[in-house]
């Protein structure tokens, strides 16, 4: 058992979305690294994109903390594991400070899975990023409301963002002083701090490569010059969360009976950037050899026994995906031989026959298309049938986030759930060894499904050896 530990931490929150949390968090992480700190970056909620920018700034992988997906009991252990070797952790919040999953139960003001909820689970102080463009003296009233709303949440400082002038900054500082909250930094309106976005938010750092590095560098420089880093570090050291044993992927999956170490290939590269770091760690702990491959230009790795194709933006790379005939052939052959495949969202679209008129893999009968309507939200789902991941009746909480639709023909659904109106919805497909759906599920919340997948991959390896 690894010893319990507690890493100093701050949580970066805001009154509402669009206040500049990601920009400030990314800049703060990079500024702390430049000052000699070893920073562990985290993101509250199911977001895949922001952790990519955090990771660029930190020089280590960004991780997610989402009580809805993994259970509140796992948040502190996952934090402890993700902050191993760091001397400070910076946690970016989601939406507004108290905004969480809408469950119909308003008994707890924190909001299920909200930034405030995670801050209390970690015992970490909150720094509030306020978009000052529309504020003057009334900022004091806004802060007063947030300070008094729930005493379990400790708002310990403010960073004012998009300040218009020196006079504007002076007024804002006076407003903060009026309610007793220190201003830790003031950032002006600066186009150099803008990060390009598109239909689902920021463009992933993995897609922008050199441009992302340049953007992060500019953000870091400006935050380093404008924020009191020593005060931020002092606040982080005042965190009073529990010292817990770090999350262990080996403990989660337990003893998995495999004859060998099957190769599990995970799709990576610009088209498939969505994934949780814990997934590969759980696969490895369950006995797999994890190998990455880029569907835009590579084939399946040698001796592949199982394939994971996560989320991303296949619609932005549909021509290149379609043009990689060799990989499409590899995947069709793998499925025809009974090989296991775990596909989520973008992976579902890729396995269909076509996406916006371009031929895709075609192991699922049906077509996908991109559209204007955003589908977004948590889902409490039940597995419809046995698969390489789940047994029929297994229950999970997952998350949908897409602007596409897929019309499948004659498929057994992977999941079913009830929507807000009480209507039963079906999602995805189970076909041979394929489990594909729009639903993103955090593997740390369902470690038994990872172990089940590795067993299926090992079984496929042995069957291939007997041919």
Whole-number Å distance between alpha carbons of 295 and 328: 9
Q: What is the pLDDT of residue 179?
A: 97
**CATH code of domain 9-237:** 3.40.50.300
Whole-number Å distance between alpha carbons of 43 and 41: 7
Q: What is the pLDDT of residue 318?
A: 96
How buried is residue 151: exposed, middle or buried, by Cβ count under 10 Å (0-12/13-18/19+)? exposed
Q: What is the pLDDT of residue 247?
A: 97
Residue 343 · residue 349 · CB < 8 Å: no
Q: What is the pLDDT of residue 208?
A: 56
Q: What is the pLDDT of residue 420?
A: 78
Take residue 309 and report the two structure tokens written for it.
Answer: 């194709």
**Count of beta carbons in the 10 Å neighbourhood of residue 198:** 11
Q: Which residue is catalytic, options 176, 240, 297, 345? A: 345
CA nearest neighbour of 207 among 75, 48, 328, 86:
48
**Identical fold at 9-237 and 249-466?**
yes
Contacts of 20 (CB under 8 A, 6+ apart): 14, 129, 131, 161, 162, 187
CATH class held by domain 249-466: alpha beta
For residue 297, indicate whether it is catalytic.
Answer: no
Low-confidence ranges of the chain (pLDDT < 70): 1-3, 104-107, 192-209, 466-467
**Domain assignments of the chain as residue spans, ordered by start:** 9-237, 249-466
Q: What is the pLDDT of residue 198?
A: 44
Whole-number Å distance between alpha carbons of 236 and 227: 14
- DSSP-derived secondary structure letter, 297: T
Q: What is the pLDDT of residue 171?
A: 97
Q: What is the pLDDT of residue 193?
A: 62
- DSSP-derived secondary structure letter, 246: P
Where would I find the beta strands (DSSP E) of 312-392? 341-344, 352-355, 358-359, 364-383
pTM for the structure as a whole: 0.94
Whole-number Å distance between alpha carbons of 363 and 383: 21
Ramachandran class of 230: left when φ > 0, alpha when ψ lies in -120 to 50, beta otherwise: alpha
Cα–Cα distances (Å) from 167 to 141, 226, 283, in that order, read: 19, 16, 55
Take residue 220 and report the two structure tokens written for it.
Answer: 């870091």
Q: What is the pLDDT of residue 199?
A: 43
Contacts of 203 (CB under 8 A, 6+ apart): 49, 195, 196, 197, 212
Contacts of 435 (CB under 8 A, 6+ apart): 340, 341, 342, 343, 387, 388, 389, 390, 414, 428
């Amino acid at each position: 058992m690894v010893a319990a530990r507690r890493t100093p931490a701050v949580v970066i929150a805001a009154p509402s979305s669009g206040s500049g949390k990601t920009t400030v968090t990314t800049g703060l992480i990079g500024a702390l690294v430049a000052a000699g700190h070893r920073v562990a970056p985290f993101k509250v909620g199911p977001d895949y994109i922001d952790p990519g920018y955090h990771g660029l700034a930190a020089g280590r992988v960004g991780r997610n903390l989402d009580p809805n997906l993994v259970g509140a009991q796992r948040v502190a252990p996952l934090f402890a594991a993700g902050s191993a070797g760091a001397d400070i952790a910076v946690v970016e919040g989601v939406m507004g400070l108290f905004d969480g999953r809408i469950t119909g139960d308003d008994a707890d003001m924190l909001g299920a899975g909200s930034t405030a909820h995670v801050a209390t689970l970690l015992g970490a102080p909150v720094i509030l990023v306020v978009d000052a463009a529309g504020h003057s003296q009334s900022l004091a009233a806004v802060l007063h409301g947030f300070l008094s709303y729930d005493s379990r949440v400790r708002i310990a400082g403010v960073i004012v963002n998009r300040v218009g002038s020196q006079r504007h900054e002076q007024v804002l500082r006076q407003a903060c002083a009026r309610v007793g909250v220190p201003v830790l930094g003031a950032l002006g309106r600066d186009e150099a701090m803008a990060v390009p976005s598109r239909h689902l938010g920021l463009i992933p750092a993995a897609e922008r490569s050199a441009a992302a590095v340049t953007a992060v560098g500019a953000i870091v420089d400006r935050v380093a010059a404008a924020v009191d880093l020593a005060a931020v570090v002092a606040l982080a050291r005042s965190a009073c969360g529990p010292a817990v044993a770090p999350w262990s992927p080996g403990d989660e999956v337990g003893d998995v009976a495999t004859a060998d170490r099957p190769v599990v290939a995970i799709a990576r590269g610009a088209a498939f950037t969505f994934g949780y770091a814990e997934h590969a760690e759980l696969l490895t702990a369950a006995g797999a050899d994890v190998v990455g491959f880029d569907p835009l230009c590579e084939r399946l790795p040698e001796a592949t026994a199982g394939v994971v194709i996560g989320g991303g933006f296949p619609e932005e790379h549909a021509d290149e995906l379609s043009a990689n005939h060799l990989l499409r052939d590899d995947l069709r052959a793998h499925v025809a031989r009974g090989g296991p495949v775990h596909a989520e969202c973008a992976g579902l679209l890729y396995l269909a026959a076509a996406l916006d008129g371009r031929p895709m893999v075609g192991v699922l009968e049906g077509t996908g298309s991109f559209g204007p309507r955003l589908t977004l939200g948590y889902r409490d789902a039940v597995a419809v049938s046995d698969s390489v991941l789940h047994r029929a009746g297994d229950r999970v909480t997952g998350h949908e986030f897409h602007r596409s639709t897929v019309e499948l023909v004659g498929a057994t659904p992977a999941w079913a759930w009830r929507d807000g109106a009480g209507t039963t919805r079906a999602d995805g497909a189970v076909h041979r060894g394929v489990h594909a759906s729009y639903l993103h599920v955090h593997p740390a919340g369902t470690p038994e499904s990872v172990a089940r997948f590795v067993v299926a991959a090992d079984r496929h390896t042995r069957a291939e050896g007997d041919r």
